[in-house]
Amino acid sequence: MSHVIVVGAGPTGLLLAGDLAEAGVAVTLLERRDGRVSNLSRAFAVHARTLEVLDARGLVEELDRTGAGHVSDIRLFERVHVDLGRLPGRFPYMLVTAQYNVERVLLARAVAAGVTIEYGTTVVDVHQDATGVSVITEDRTYRADYLVGADGFHSAVRRSLGQAFPGRSVLKSIMLADVRLRETPPDTLTVDGNGSEFVFLAPFGDGWYRIFAWDRRSDVSDDTPLELDEVRAITRRALGTDFGISEARWLSRFHSDERQVAEYRVGRVFLAGDAAHVHSPAGGMGMNTGLQDAANLSWKLAAVLRGAPETLLDTYQAERHPVGAEVLRISGTMIRMAMLRSRVGRAVRGVVGGLALRVPAIRRRLTGRISAIGFRYAAPRGEDPRVGSRMPDLDLADGTRLYEHLRGGRFVLVGGTAPEGWGDRVRAVASAGEIVLVRPDGYVAKIFGRTAEPAEVRTALAALVGQPARAGV
Ligand SMILES: Cc1cc2nc3c(=O)[nH]c(=O)nc-3n(C[C@H](O)[C@H](O)[C@H](O)COP(=O)(O)OP(=O)(O)OC[C@H]3O[C@@H](n4cnc5c(N)ncnc54)[C@H](O)[C@@H]3O)c2cc1C
């Protein structure tokens, strides 16, 4: 039986492993940590496109219940706000919830789908040959058809491939504190700065708050202990109050890098999430981008293991590398603007930024990028140019929605009739208009026009979904 190994049970690895298992692929997830999900969260924002991806897996309602609220308005600096409220789709906001809530939901789903998780297992090396991949851990060797390194910033898989992680540090000595407050801040997200310092404050929804603070004049190493009084003082200076910070469960310093690997695929080995790209926390896009990587790769691996051409796997690099590069650019621009030192520069930033965001096309582009709703993939040569664009959810005549039919990693043939043999992986839904094949990750796979010859549909399915199971399925 074909087998995929995923290294790293962070959000990226958990989504990917769960998708593969739901698609009927045997998956082993190797994780260095013990089995507990940490309550020390890094990300706390789930953006609109990720919510759509989770909707296509039936997980949004559960995750929403863990959240501290929906935020439609992100303040960048001065009076410059990004309004997510006009995003198209069911989720014109970002959900504020801790990364550990996302991981818990994805873990429960992966376990239910049958993923084998081996905790306390550290991957140290990887070798590949024509028939598969050998994954070497501290005490044994595993063998698989394909391997995905979702093992984060310090990825051992990336290192084993001999891949560089080019880029640089953008921000040093960021203070991170998870604290309780005696007073509730009036806004869900609070951010302010005075040119040499800034503080960002967000709730986790369970009584704890995350503070990121940065002081331009401070240049201490990440291992210098951080005291709660230092956090209180900078918060008061930047926000005018510390909202009665009472206790902390996590105090640390970190630096932020901007890096991207050149090759997301090397033969039978793939890199996804932070193993492939990292950038500043500005815009809250890191975890979200990793989850989109996973959603892009999982159906392709499942299809190739069911007989689709191997070249389908090359589209992972072609589609996701440019998105990663763009996320680095946007997040980098946001952090550099936030860090502007001179009074004049900050005044210009406020005026120019405010004016620019009044232009609908610029506003749409920025909100589309931050939320990932606006990303699209290039259409293959000769295909309708709409192929590769995000397919919006549709209300169907029978009262169901398109994204509900994507659940289980299925393709959906909108308005067409699925030929025999693919019934386990393709669902046909009635709809007037053009016949559209939608990928499991919610992007347009093929547009047939108003009618489609059965042979044409079969050819498309064999290329994208894999070989038919058997007649009548
Ligand atoms: C302070 C901070 C704030 C952030 N805020 C946001 C935000 O608001 N929004 C957002 O989208 N992103 C945010 N991010 C980024 C986000 O946390 C990461 O992008 C996300 O965790 C990446 O997920 P991942 O699954 O790719 O990697 P990780 O979460 O790093 O998971 C990798 C997993 O691999 C395991 N592992 C590592 N090496 C091995 C090995 N050799 N063998 C076996 N297992 C191994 C690790 O134990 C870990 O469980 C933030 C990051 C930081 C640091």
CATH number of the domain that residue 325 is part of: 3.50.50.60
Residue that has been written with the tokens 């990300």 in this structure: 43
Q: What is the pLDDT of residue 334?
A: 80
Q: What is the pLDDT of residue 377?
A: 98
Mean pLDDT within 55-80? 85
Q: What is the pLDDT of residue 2?
A: 66
Q: 281 CB under 6 A from ligand 1?
A: yes
Number of domains observed in the structure of the chain:
3
Confidence of residue 471 (pLDDT cuts 50, 70, 90): very low
Q: How far apart are CA 424 and CA 46, in angstroms?
A: 31
Q: What is the pLDDT of residue 196?
A: 81
44: closest CA among 186, 235, 182, 209?
209
> Residue 363 belongs to what domain range?
3-73+80-166+259-371
Q: What is the pLDDT of residue 335?
A: 77
Mean pLDDT within 366-376? 93
Q: What is the mean pLDDT of the chain?
A: 91
- Among 258, 273, 299, which residue terminates a domain? 258
Task: Write out the H or E segment, with its range, that includes residue 180.
Answer: strand 167-181
Q: What is the pLDDT of residue 362?
A: 76
Mean pLDDT within 108-121? 97
Determine the distance separating the centroid of ligand 1 and the alpha carbon of 59, expressed in angstroms.
20
φ, ψ at 313 (rounded to 5°): -70, -25
Clarify whether residues 241 and 117 are in a common domain: no
Q: Best of 42, 49, 254 to mutate for ligand 1, by most ligand atoms within 8 A of CB?
A: 42
Q: Best of 135, 170, 287 to mutate for ligand 1, by most ligand atoms within 8 A of CB?
A: 287
Higher pLDDT, 336 or 154: 154
Confidence of residue 473 (pLDDT cuts 50, 70, 90): very low
- Among 344, 371, 398, which residue terminates a domain? 371
437: closest CA among 415, 419, 413?
413
Determine the distance separating the centroid of ligand 1 and the alpha carbon of 278, expressed in angstroms.
9
Confidence of residue 50 (pLDDT cuts 50, 70, 90): very high
Q: Is the pLDDT of residue 227 over 70?
A: yes
Mean pLDDT within 86-90? 94
- CB 136: neighbour CB atoms within 10 A? 15
Residue 360 CB burial class (10 angstroms; 0-12, 13-18, ≥19): exposed
* DSSP letter (8 states) at residue 29: E
Clarify whether residues 12 and 122 are in a common domain: yes
Segments in 167-265 forming alpha helices (H): 228-239
Q: Is the pLDDT of residue 156 over 70?
A: yes
Q: Is the pLDDT of residue 170 over 80?
A: yes
Q: Best of 101, 151, 371 to mutate for ligand 1, by most ligand atoms within 8 A of CB?
A: 151
Clarify whether residues 155 and 25 are in a common domain: yes
Least trusted range by pLDDT, from 274-283, 355-364, 400-409, 451-460 = 355-364
Q: 122 CB under 6 A from ligand 1?
A: yes
Least trusted range by pLDDT, from 31-45, 101-115, 199-213 = 31-45
Q: What is the pLDDT of residue 357?
A: 67
φ, ψ at 222 (rounded to 5°): -60, -25
Determine the distance separating the centroid of ligand 1 and the alpha carbon of 185, expressed in angstroms.
28
Confidence of residue 415 (pLDDT cuts 50, 70, 90): very high
Clarify whether residues 328 and 361 are in a common domain: yes
Clarify whether residues 459 and 325 are in a common domain: no
Clarify whether residues 141 and 273 are in a common domain: yes
Mean pLDDT within 429-447? 96
140: closest CA among 1, 298, 270, 5?
5
CB proximity list for 233: less than 8 A, separation 6 or greater: none
Q: Is the pLDDT of residue 233 over 60?
A: yes
Least trusted range by pLDDT, from 21-30, 71-80, 319-328, 450-459 = 71-80
Q: Which atom of ligand 1 is nearest to the CA of 290?
A: 26
Q: What is the pLDDT of residue 472?
A: 43
Clarify whether residues 249 and 324 are in a common domain: no
The four Cα atoms 416, 420, 424, 426 give a dihedral, to 10 degrees, of -20
Q: Is the pLDDT of residue 76 over 90?
A: no
Q: 30 CB under 6 A from ligand 1?
A: yes
Clarify whether residues 160 and 272 are in a common domain: yes
Radius of gyration of the chain (CA): 23
- Among 336, 371, 406, which residue terminates a domain? 371
Q: Using a pLDDT cut of 90, give the percent of the chain over it.
A: 69
Determine the distance separating the centroid of ligand 1 and the alpha carbon of 274, expressed in angstroms.
6
Q: Between the ranges 210-214, 322-326, 451-455, where is the mean pLDDT highest?
A: 322-326
